[in-house]
C-alpha cells in the first residue's frame, strides 16, 4: 500500500518535472509591430523570424494563451552583428532589460522568469532601448518553458490575420427570395485598417463596408464568376464571367481574383462608427438563360436616400437568393492582433410574391484559421437586440462553431423607395444627354415633352381623351434607347392595365391622348424604373422607349 503510494507520488513528480522542462518555441515571424510595418514581407519573414527591425519607436508584440499557473521562463533566440543593442521585454507587468549578444549566428539569451498566477491570454512586448549598428536585433524565436506552459496555445502559422467569423441566417432553400436587407453598425474604435465588415452575403457574392487605407473607406459589392478558377480571371471563359450591367455615379468597377474570381465594384464613402447603415441586395432570375442579376443598394442616412452601387448578371445561375450570411474579415495580417467588432440588425428577406420575412435566427461559423485552432480569439452573440461578431484582440472566445443565436423581432420591415435615390439629378442629366444625342443622330424623333416625357404622335386618334383614372387596352412594344434591346411587347392580343398602376412615364405621357392614337414615348429613367433592376432586360437607370397603340379604355365609373 505504502509502496504504491510512493510510486504514484514519484510518477507525479517526474510528470511535473517533465512538463516544467518542456520548451515551446514561438516563431518570431508571428508577431506584430506597433506601429505596423508598411511592407508585410520585410519585418516578419517566414523561416527567419523578426528581421530588419531598426525603429526604436516601434514595439514588437507576441501573444499566447496559458491554461496553467506556475513558473514561466522566457528566452530569446537572437543576435546582432554589431555590439551595443539593448531591448526591454515586458510580460505580466514585469519588465526585463536585455543586452543583445553580438555575432553572426543566433544565440539563446535568457530574459527572465515570472510566476503566472492566472490562466488567460498573455503578451510579450519588446521595445528597443538602444541600437547597435543599423538594426536593433534579429530574433528567430521566443522560447517559453516551465509549469505554466502545460497545454499552452499560440499561433504557429505565418498567417497573422485574425480568424474570419460568420453569421449564417437559416432559411429554407425552397423559399424563393428576391431581396435580402440588413443593417450594420460598427462601434467606436472598431474601424480598424484592413477590416471588411460584410453585411449582405449570398451564394454568389457579398456586400459590405471596408477600411481600405488610413484615408479611404469603401462600400464594396462583388459577385463571383461561375466555374472553379480560384486565382486569375484571365483564365475564366467568357461564358462563365459575370457582366456589369449598371453602376452608380462615382462607383468604380473591375475584376477580382485570388479568392475565386468575379466582378468587383466599390464606392469611396466616409462611413462612420456609431452610425447604422442599411444595405439591400436584390436578385432577378431568368430561367431561360440560366442567369440571375444581382444588384446592391446602399442607404445614405445623411440624405435619407438609396444609392445604386452596381448590378451584375451572373451566368450559370437562374436561381434566387440563397445562403444568406454576414462576416467580419481581417484581410491583411499586419494588424491582426487588434479586435474587430460589428453589429448586424433587423435582417429581412423578401419572397417572390413581395412579402417580407424577418430573420431572427443565426448560426456562428469561422474560417480555416479558426477551425484549425490557429486563432482562438473570436466570438459572436446577441446584444442590444442585434447580432454581433468580433475577431482578434487575443481575448477568450465567446462562441464556437455551430452555435445558434436568436435576436428579438423588431417587426420593422424595410420600406424601399427607389425613386428617392442619391444620383437622381446626375442621372437625369445623363438621360437627357442620351435622348438629345439620339434625336441628333435621327435614332428617334420627337415633338417635344410632357412633364419630362418626350413623345411623338405616330397616328392621330379620334376617340375619347385618356384620363389617368382609366383602364387601358393597348398594343405596345418597349425597348432600351441605349441599344434597342426589346424587353417587352404584345403579340396577337392587346394587354389591359389600369393606367395608375403603370410607370410614371405612361401616366404623364398618355393622358390627353385620344383613343385610337399610336404614340411613341421616350421615358427618362427617373420616370421609369430609376435605380431598380426591373428585369434581366432592363438595367437600372435605363431610358425606355415605348410604341403604344390605344385600342380601348374603361372609365373608372365603368370598372
* 7-28 pLDDT tens trace: 334 344 444 444 445 899 999 9
User: In angstroms, rounded to a whole number, what is the distance separating the alpha carbons of residues 343 and 226?
Assistant: 31
The answer to whether the beta carbons of residues 332 and 271 sit under 8 Å apart is: no
Grid coordinates representing 233 are 480571371
Write out the DSSP string of 411-470. Answer: -------TTSBTTHHHHHHHHHHHHHHHHHTTSS--SEEETTEEEEEEE---SPBP-TT-
Per residue in 499-551, pLDDT (tens digit) is 999 999 999 999 989 999 999 999 999 999 999 988 778 999 999 999 999 99
DSSP 462-503: -SPBP-TT-EEEEEEEEEETTT--EEEE--SS-EEEEGGGS-
Tell me which CATH code domain 424-558 carries. 3.10.50.40
**What is the CATH code of the structural domain delimited by 165-406?**
2.60.120
Give the per-residue pLDDT at 555: 86
pLDDT above 80 for 417: yes
User: Could you give the CA distance from residue 375 to residue 368 in angstroms, rounded to a whole number?
Assistant: 10
What is the reported pLDDT for 175?
85
Q: Where are the alpha helices (DSSP H) in 143-257?
A: none
* pLDDT confidence of residue 173: 74
The structural domains of the chain, with segments of one domain joined by +, span 20-149, 165-406, 424-558
Question: What pLDDT is attached to residue 40?
Answer: 64
Query: How sure is the predictor about 41, in pLDDT bands with cuts at 50, 70 and 90?
Result: low
Report the pLDDT value the prediction gives residue 240, as an integer from 0 to 100: 96
Q: Can you give the pTM of this predicted structure? A: 0.91
Lowest pLDDT segment from 4-13, 185-194, 476-485, 496-505: 4-13
Give the list of residues 6+ apart from residue 42 with CB closer than 8 angstroms, or none: 51, 52
Examine the pLDDT at 557 and tell me if it is beyond 80.
no
**Which CA distances in Å does 195 have to 163, 173, 198, 280, 539?**
12, 31, 10, 20, 31
Give the CA angle between residues 19, 22, 24 to the nearest 5°. 130
Same fold, 20-149 and 165-406: yes
Please tell me the predicted confidence (pLDDT) of residue 259: 84
Helix (H, G, I), strand (E, B) or coil at 375: coil
Q: Nearest 5°: phi and psi at 436?
A: -65, -35
Which pLDDT band, with edges at 50, 70 and 90, does 312 fall under?
A: very high
Q: Which has the closest alpha carbon to 540: 329, 328, 280, 317? A: 280
According to CATH, the superfamily of the domain at 20-149 is Galactose-binding domain-like (2.60.120.260)
Amino acid at each position: 500500500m505504502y509502496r504504491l503510494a510512493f510510486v504514484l507520488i514519484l510518477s507525479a513528480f517526474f510528470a511535473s518535472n517533465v512538463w516544467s522542462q518542456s520548451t515551446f518555441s514561438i516563431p518570431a515571424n508571428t508577431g506584430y509591430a506597433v506601429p505596423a510595418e508598411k511592407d508585410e514581407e520585410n519585418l516578419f519573414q517566414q523561416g527567419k523570424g523578426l528581421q530588419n527591425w531598426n525603429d526604436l519607436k516601434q514595439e514588437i508584440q507576441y501573444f499566447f494563451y496559458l491554461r496553467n499557473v506556475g513558473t514561466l521562463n522566457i528566452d530569446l533566440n537572437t543576435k546582432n552583428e554589431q555590439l551595443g543593442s539593448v531591448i526591454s521585454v515586458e510580460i505580466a507587468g514585469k519588465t526585463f532589460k536585455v543586452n543583445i549578444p553580438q555575432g553572426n549566428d543566433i544565440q539563446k539569451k535568457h530574459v527572465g522568469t515570472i510566476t503566472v498566477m492566472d490562466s488567460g491570454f498573455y503578451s510579450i512586448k519588446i521595445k528597443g532601448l538602444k541600437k547597435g549598428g543599423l538594426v536593433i536585433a534579429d530574433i528567430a524565436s521566443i522560447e517559453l518553458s516551465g509549469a505554466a506552459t502545460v497545454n499552452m496555445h499560440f499561433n504557429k502559422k505565418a498567417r497573422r490575420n485574425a480568424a474570419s467569423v460568420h453569421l449564417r441566417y437559416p432559411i429554407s432553400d425552397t423559399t424563393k427570395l428576391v431581396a435580402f436587407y440588413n443593417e450594420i453598425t460598427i462601434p467606436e474604435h472598431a474601424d480598424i485598417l484592413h477590416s471588411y465588415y460584410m453585411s449582405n452575403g449570398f451564394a454568389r457574392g457579398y456586400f459590405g463596408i471596408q477600411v481600405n487605407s488610413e484615408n479611404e473607406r469603401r462600400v464594396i459589392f462583388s459577385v463571383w464568376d461561375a466555374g472553379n478558377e480560384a486565382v486569375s480571371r484571365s483564365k475564366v471563359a467568357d461564358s462563365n464571367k459575370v457582366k456589369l450591367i449598371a453602376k452608380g455615379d462615382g462607383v468604380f468597377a473591375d475584376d477580382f481574383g485570388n479568392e475565386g474570381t468575379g466582378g468587383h465594384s466599390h464606392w469611396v464613402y466616409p462611413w462612420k462608427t456609431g452610425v447604422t447603415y442599411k444595405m439591400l441586395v436584390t436578385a432577378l432570375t431568368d430561367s431561360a438563360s440560366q442567369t440571375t442579376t444581382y444588384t446592391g443598394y446602399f442607404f445614405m442616412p445623411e440624405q435619407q436616400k438609396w444609392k445604386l452601387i452596381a448590378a451584375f448578371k451572373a451566368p450559370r445561375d437562374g436561381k434566387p437568393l440563397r445562403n444568406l450570411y454576414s462576416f467580419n474579415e481581417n484581410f491583411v495580417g499586419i494588424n491582426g492582433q487588434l479586435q474587430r467588432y460589428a453589429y448586424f440588425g433587423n435582417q429581412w428577406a423578401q419572397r417572390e410574391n413581395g412579402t417580407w420575412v424577418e430573420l431572427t435566427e443565426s448560426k456562428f461559423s469561422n474560417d480555416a484559421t479558426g477551425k484549425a485552432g490557429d486563432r482562438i480569439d473570436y466570438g459572436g452573440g446577441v446584444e442590444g437586440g442585434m447580432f454581433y461578431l468580433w475577431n482578434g484582440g487575443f481575448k477568450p472566445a465567446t462562441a464556437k462553431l455551430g452555435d445558434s443565436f436568436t435576436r428579438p423581432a423588431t417587426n420593422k420591415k424595410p420600406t424601399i423607395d427607389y425613386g428617392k435615390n442619391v444620383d437622381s439629378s446626375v442621372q437625369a442629366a445623363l438621360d437627357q444627354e442620351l435622348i438629345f444625342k439620339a434625336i441628333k443622330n435621327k435614332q428617334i424623333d420627337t415633338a417635344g415633352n410632357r412633364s419630362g416625357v418626350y413623345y411623338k404622335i405616330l397616328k392621330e386618334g379620334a376617340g375619347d381623351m385618356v384620363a389617368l383614372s382609366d383602364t387601358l387596352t393597348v398594343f405596345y412594344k418597349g425597348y432600351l434607347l441605349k441599344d434597342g434591346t426589346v424587353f417587352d411587347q404584345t403579340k396577337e392580343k392587346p394587354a389591359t392595365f389600369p393606367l395608375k398602376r403603370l410607370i410614371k412615364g405612361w401616366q404623364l405621357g398618355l393622358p390627353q391622348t385620344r383613343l385610337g392614337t399610336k404614340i411613341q414615348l421616350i421615358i427618362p429613367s427617373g420616370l421609369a424604373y430609376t435605380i431598380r433592376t426591373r428585369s434581366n432586360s432592363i438595367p437600372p437607370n435605363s431610358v425606355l422607349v415605348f410604341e403604344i397603340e390605344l385600342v380601348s379604355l374603361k372609365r373608372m365609373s365603368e370598372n
